[in-house]
Chain A
Amino acid sequence: NAGVMQNPRHLVRRRGQEARLRCSPMKGHSHVYWYRQLPEEGLKFMVYLQKENIIDESGMPKERFSAEFPKEGPSILRIQQVVRGDSAAYFCASADVRGRDNYGYTFGSGTRLTVV
């Protein structure tokens, strides 16, 4: 079991470009969560998805950010027209309904986005 896989590990984008971050959950996990972490800060919740459904996007900025978790393939966090303030580490976590209350969440290694 490879765990939660995120790619790329590092991503550099110029202002105005698009950033696409990918997350493959652990095998058997149907719940995906995206978090953003600024330097020296904790993780801020962004969005919670199940297959083909956005369950909670209360932490997502209203503009430029979107997320999906298609029936096939990884979950994608998309940031359009990136700005310097988007520079951060973006973490994905996955869980299954039964295990979450016992074992918590499994996190990927993150994607570090740098906007230049």
Chain B
Amino acid sequence: SQQGEEDPQALSIQEGENATMNCSYKTSINNLQWYRQNSGRGLVHLILIRSNEREKHSGRLRVTLDTSKKSSSLLITASRAADTASYFCATDSMNRDDKIIFGKGTRLHILP
């Protein structure tokens, strides 16, 4: 079953603008991870945030986590054409059943 649900399903913005994607999940987690997938390619790990962390930065990426609302957001600042991809959140549950569960993703399109 899907654990994470990304919102919106698709997003188109102008190059240079900021892109925000949200993820909601259902059960308690150990950590939450964001991945990027370019069309026809594998997934690339972007950032991992633990359940006891509230915010994390990596370059132009900023991830927040609100465990009380069971939600996370991924912000990409100053977007570039190369950021066009699908973005997935994945949760590593507190049950430690040793697998991560993915949402359906947000398809981000950066317009030139």
Give chain A's interface residues, CB within 8 Å of chain B.
4, 31, 33, 35, 41-45, 48, 55-56, 91, 93, 100-110, 112
Contacts and interface: CB of A to CB of B under 8 A. Distances in A.
Interface stretch (B14-22, B39-47, B72-80): B39-47
B102 A42 contact: yes
Nearest to A3: B42
Contacts of B99: 33, 45, 48, 56
- Chain B interface residue count: which class? 20 to 34
Interface of B: 2, 30-31, 33, 35, 40-45, 48, 50, 88, 90, 92, 97-105
Contact of B42 (A41, A56, A109): A109
B45 A103 contact: yes
Given A101-B30, A101-B31, A43 B48 contact: no
B43 A103 contact: no
Contact of B43 (A31, A43, A44, A56): A43
Contact of B104 (A4, A35, A41, A101): A41
Contacts of A48: 98-99
A107 B103 contact: no
9 contacts: A41-B104, A41-B105, A43-B102, A45-B102, A91-B43, A102-B48, A103-B45, A105-B100, A109-B42
